[in-house]
Structure 1
Amino acid sequence: MSAETPGQSTGTFTRLRLRFRDWRGNRPFWAGLFTLLGGLPIAYFPYATLKLGTMSLTMATTAGAGSLIIGVLLVTLGLTMWFQQATRVFAGIAAILLALVSLVVSNIGGFIIGFLLAMIGGALALSWAPGNPAPQGAEPQNLPPAPTQDGAPAPGPYPVAGEQGPSYTLHKQADGGASQPVQADEPNGVHRVG
């Protein structure tokens, strides 16, 4: 198969990547990810035992169950932000409150790591707003206009939005042929056929 063959234009990885990008774009993805990641160190550190040579270091607190509950709730809120976008404001406020409570309950909020991740995730959830869907039948902004009825290309160059481009008029040919676009605002009265 050559490079010009249209049969395999996109691979499986590209299709999956584009589907994931569309899914991610319709929800507060980063808010959910930060909140979910913030819950992991808050739940993990009170139960972790680190080995330094022959010495074991345990960071267990008396509120280990509280840390586990806060961590699990933050993971749940992160997933809620992904799959129930309508509850993003509630989930964001709850994530911020749980992050603040974790400072007292869970080893300074999972050694500040979980606290900061959960705070950022909650703030992102509160600030996220769904985008406006494109109106049906709307033409993308950066495409040139469609060709004229007789198949001739639309006059160009195409001005950038906000700039004043040259104006064109249709000039009928003397032999009765198709109309040709003529630039009407050339200096010195000279007209250029488009």
Structure 2
Amino acid sequence: MSAESPGQQNEHFLRVVKRRFRVWRGQRPFWAGLFTILGGIPIAYFPYASLKIGHMTLAMATTAGAGSLIIGVLLVTLGLTMWFHHIVRVFAGVAAILLALISLPVSNIGGFLIGFLLALIGGALSIAWAPGKAAEAEAPASSAPADGPDAPLVPGPQVGDSTITQKTSAHAEGGRNSAG
């Protein structure tokens, strides 16, 4: 690579990063985690937000502010769990749906329905997600029979082999071989 074209190196780096992110995203319920995280943010934010209009302050402070904060933080945590521990995606999805439902009475109608709907969709996507099949598994199977010349060899003695019966009978007689 010449010093006159440094843009190609950056372009290559960006393609590698994009490809790695696409592979990472395909191995886990990415969109479910994103919707769940985005659902937790308004649920936790709105009870503590205050809007200033001129000299007037509009605050949405409620008595359930701590409950809203806990629900929002748990939803963000569940979204991150869906990304980094996708093996527990069903548990995380069910928990996200339950927390979204609990946020309706606790947190200003679930973050004014924005957080409720996002968390509900994220939980449902997490439950419905299934890992994809590997590229090798999708290759068509060979039409050759298993007994054919291309059949894989099985290492070690076979079940009907005479060495197995000799070893078994020798072991049964205390280590002495009856043949010799």
Q: Settle same-fold status: TM greater than 0.5.
A: yes
Change in CA separation of 1:137 and 1:69 when aligned onto 2, cut-off 3 Å: closer
Map of 2:161 onto structure 1: none
What secondary structure is seen at the aligned counterpart in 1 of 2:57?
Answer: strand
Letter in 2 for 1:100: L
Change in CA separation of 1:15 and 1:51 when aligned onto 2, cut-off 3 Å: same
Deviation at 1:135, TM superposition (A): 2.1
1:38 paired with 2:39, answer yes
Residue identity (%): 72
1:107 paired with 2:108, answer yes
CA RMSD between the two structures: 2.1
Letter in 2 for 1:110: G
- Equivalent-residue separation in structure 2 for 1:78 and 1:63 (angstroms): 23
Map of 2:132 onto structure 1: 131
- Equivalent-residue separation in structure 2 for 1:137 and 1:34 (angstroms): 30
Residues 14-53 of structure 1 aligned to structure 2 (within 5 Å): 14-53=15-54
- Equivalent-residue separation in structure 2 for 1:9 and 1:106 (angstroms): 46
Change in CA separation of 1:137 and 1:128 when aligned onto 2, cut-off 3 Å: closer
Letter in 2 for 1:103: L
Letter in 2 for 1:113: I
TM-score, normalized by length of structure 2?
0.70
- Higher relative contact order, structure no. (Cα contacts within 8 Å, ≥ 6 residues apart): 2
| 1:1-22 per-position Cα deviation (integer Å, ceiling 9, x unaligned) | 69xxxx9696111110111000
Deviation at 1:134, TM superposition (A): 2.1
- Equivalent-residue separation in structure 1 for 2:138 and 2:11 (angstroms): 26
Larger proportion of helix: 2
Change in CA separation of 1:137 and 1:67 when aligned onto 2, cut-off 3 Å: closer
| 1:63-83 per-position Cα deviation (integer Å, ceiling 9, x unaligned) | 000000000000000000000
- Equivalent-residue separation in structure 2 for 1:107 and 1:9 (angstroms): 47
| 1:153-181 per-position Cα deviation (integer Å, ceiling 9, x unaligned) | xxxxxxxxxxxxxxxxxxxxxxxxxxxxx
Change in CA separation of 1:31 and 1:136 when aligned onto 2, cut-off 3 Å: closer
Map of 1:182 onto structure 2: none
Residues 30-179 of structure 1 aligned to structure 2 (within 5 Å): 30-135=31-136, 138=139
Larger proportion of strand: 1
What secondary structure is seen at the aligned counterpart in 1 of 2:130?
Answer: coil
After TM superposition, where is structure 1 displaced by more than 3 Å over at least 4 residues in a row? Answer: 7-10, 136-139
For structure 2, which runs of at least 5 residues remain unmatched after alignment? Answer: 3-7, 141-180
Deviation at 1:54, TM superposition (A): 1.4
| 1:45-104 per-position Cα deviation (integer Å, ceiling 9, x unaligned) | 000011112111000110000000000000000000000111000000000000000000
- Equivalent-residue separation in structure 2 for 1:92 and 1:136 (angstroms): 28
How many matched pairs?
135
- Equivalent-residue separation in structure 2 for 1:58 and 1:28 (angstroms): 36
What secondary structure is seen at the aligned counterpart in 2 of 1:11?
Answer: helix
TM-score, normalized by length of structure 1?
0.66
